[in-house]
Structure 1
Amino acid sequence: MSQQIKNKVARLHGLHKLLQQNVVTLLEIQQYYKQEGLQKSMRQIHRDLHEVMLLLAPTEQMASHYVGKTKYYQIHRDTPLDKAVEFSEAVHLQTNFYVPKWNDIDLTQLQLIKDAIKTGHVIQIGKLKNDETGDNFSFTTKQIQLIPVSIITHRNSYFVGGYNTKEKVVVFYSIRQLVNLKTLPLKCTPASYQKMVQLELNARFGITKNINSEQYTIRIEVANVVSEFLQNHNWHPSQQFIKKRGKTTLLLNCGINRELMGWLLQWMYNIKIIEPPALKSYFEKTLQEITAVHTAKKTLVYRNIFNSERV
């Protein structure tokens, strides 16, 4: 990582912390930068505000409001309802949707990873099973040495985010993909990779690997009833909803991956992709693949059309 990129990441993390703790204007952000020895134009500050959304945690949202003609910015943090309000066991029911079936091996591996992060040790993965995130699309059976950095909770499942020392890339694996996991006597500094892991996670929609390194401006027109539901949930740190002339548009800034496609298909005929063209092409290709399987034109086997730019 070049010094220029390191400086930029440090600047964005500083802005992220400022917005977590304060309600600020553009002028106040500029003054904060000056205190840090940085001279930044208003145009650059606007770009920083856009890019800092890549650092937002799943429970955070960028918020803004006007007082008169002055615009204020702040990062809001959501509190789960069941933690804000106490429920008794008699009235609190739960569906089985996305509730994983854990076993003792899963719990042991999760504890091993937590300990490795805490003590700063590299872990070795004997083999990976299947491909839950796209980071094992080639179904490699080789041993992997990983600097474990974070435990990520996604759809009620646990994933490890870390740095693949051989491929020199950030990867995410489900806990249940890991076979013959062990801690190596190799020291590492997980904290120094935290920014890289957070940036990569926020560049993805969910946790699935993107088709490339590009971040797309995504515009989705959403039917009004569905838009109300979507606005009441967090999907991605960059999400914004714009209502104009009776139409609601969802704006996202992230990569394209199969998790995004599955999410769009969930809303069936109540959404319409406006841009980018690449997402439209993948959407059409996915519908063609679905039709081909259901009309017996293709044998039902596992396939992933999102592992590279193929559309």
Structure 2
Amino acid sequence: MSEKSKRLMMIYSRLKSGPVTIEMLSAWANKNGVQISPRTFYRDLEDLENSLMLSDQKLVVTVGEKNRKSWKIEYINDEEPLTEFDINSYILFQHFLPLAVTSSRKDSIEKMRRLFYQKHSKSHFEHFVDVAKQQITSSHFFEGSDFTDHPQILDDCIWSVQNKRIMELQSVNYDYTSISSHIVFPQMFLPIQILYHRGVVHISGFLENNDQLLIFGLEQIEKYKLTNDPFDNNDLLQKLETELLSRFGITQNINHEVYDIELEFTKRTGNFVHNLFWHESQAFKQLENGNFVMTLNCGINRELVGWIFQWMSNVKVLKPDLLHNLVFEKYREMVQYYEDDSALISNNSFRPCHVVDNL
């Protein structure tokens, strides 16, 4: 194959994934050590239009600001073109995915982008996507940052959930969700659902030996083994939904009780909090002084207490006494650290009275 033929094929390959300008082609050539003048590129593009286009493709030239030209391949098909709303939906989906997904699946996301372009090249899809790289983004705050094994673990978990196959969890690291210290691994685990919560992708399921619900962040799973042993998940799906309704977030409750909870928020904080979703049972009432009272019907767990701390002095626990005392004791422990200037020690337990499991 001649040098020109190789060059034409490379330009053609580049055009198949999106539009190009002469400047872009020149930058590509310099990067690859190819010395070609802009005039040669113009001739190459003309040759491509006349000789290499397939029956379902055509080369389209667009003139932008300052007579700047761009070339792209349009795919000729009878499918309904994407609307601007459709394109924005795709862009939002791509850029608001968890960092764990976007970082570990770059090739797949790029493949989808190329397919979209091929199917909808007449809709200016690629222009919206390029603009979105600067105009639509995510802070990825509170999301995981280590994705070495994430793609494989996530795919294996999805396979196990979809095919209703037992997983053997051999080693699990640190604790996101207050799993009891009494649980020792390895354990046979019945995976039910992939769950995204507070920046982390989790796997939810039950232990085979006692039907206890466990929820793990994928980053926690250090060692596991897939099995081909099937299980019936029909009753477990309903059980999972019922159990999660009893929790604030996904953290294990300190006991098996469900409480009527009342929290008072200052006016300004309450105006913010009452517009967001926290739990299925949430309800709000505004008081005469402008403050808000939030009511919940759920269990008490580390996640609830930590969430209350998030609002600092803008919230007060009204009921029940158990939650009030937990929050008060944690505040007192924190103050004691500062007053005594004592060394920090790991403290991951609530022991208010008869607590079933460590929190």
TM-score when scaled to structure 2?
A: 0.59
| Pairwise CA distance, 1:92 | 2.0
User: Which one-letter code corresponds to 2:155 in the other structure?
Assistant: Q
Give yes or no for contact 1:150–1:161 (8 Å, CA) kept in 2.
yes
Q: List gaps (5 residues or longer) in structure 1.
A: 1-78
Q: Are residue 283 (structure 1) and residue 327 (structure 2) matched?
A: yes
TM-score when scaled to structure 1?
A: 0.68
Could you report, residue by residue, the CA deviation over 1:157-186 in whole angstroms, capped at 9, with x for unpaired residues? 111110111233111111111122111232
Query: Quick check: which one's helix share is greater?
Result: 2
In structure 2, the partner of 1:58 is: none
Structure showing greater Rg: 2
Q: 1:211 to 1:158 in 2, by over 3 A?
A: same
Q: Bigger shift: 208-217 or 96-105? A: 96-105
Matches of residues 1-311 of structure 1 in structure 2 within 5 Å? Answer: 82=92, 88-138=132-182, 140-246=183-289, 247-296=291-340, 299-306=343-350, 309=353
Q: 1:284 to 1:271 in 2, by over 3 A?
A: same
Give yes or no for contact 1:210–1:307 (8 Å, CA) kept in 2.
no
Q: Bigger shift: 93-102 or 274-283? A: 93-102
Tell me, what secondary structure is at the counterpart of 2:229? strand
Give yes or no for contact 1:130–1:136 (8 Å, CA) kept in 2.
no
Q: List gaps (5 residues or longer) in structure 2.
A: 1-88, 94-127
Tell me, what secondary structure is at the counterpart of 2:317? strand
Tell me, what secondary structure is at the counterpart of 2:345? coil
Give yes or no for contact 2:141–2:199 (8 Å, CA) kept in 1.
no
**Counterparts of 2:272 and 2:254, CA distance in 1:** 28
| Pairwise CA distance, 1:190 | 2.5
User: Which one-letter code corresponds to 1:271 in the other structure?
Assistant: V
RMSD of aligned alpha carbons: 2.5
Could you report, residue by residue, the CA deviation over 1:32-85 in whole angstroms, capped at 9, with x for unpaired residues? xxxxxxxxxxxxxxxxxxxxxxxxxxxxxxxxxxxxxxxxxxxxxxx9x956xx
Tell me, what secondary structure is at the counterpart of 2:132? coil
Could you report, residue by residue, the CA deviation over 1:234-265 in whole angstroms, capped at 9, with x for unpaired residues? 11111111123233111111111111111111
The alignment covers a number of residue pairs equal to 230
Give yes or no for contact 1:117–1:150 (8 Å, CA) kept in 2.
yes
Could you report, residue by residue, the CA deviation over 1:131-163 in whole angstroms, capped at 9, with x for unpaired residues? 11011434x552011100011110121111101
**Counterparts of 2:317 and 2:225, CA distance in 1:** 44
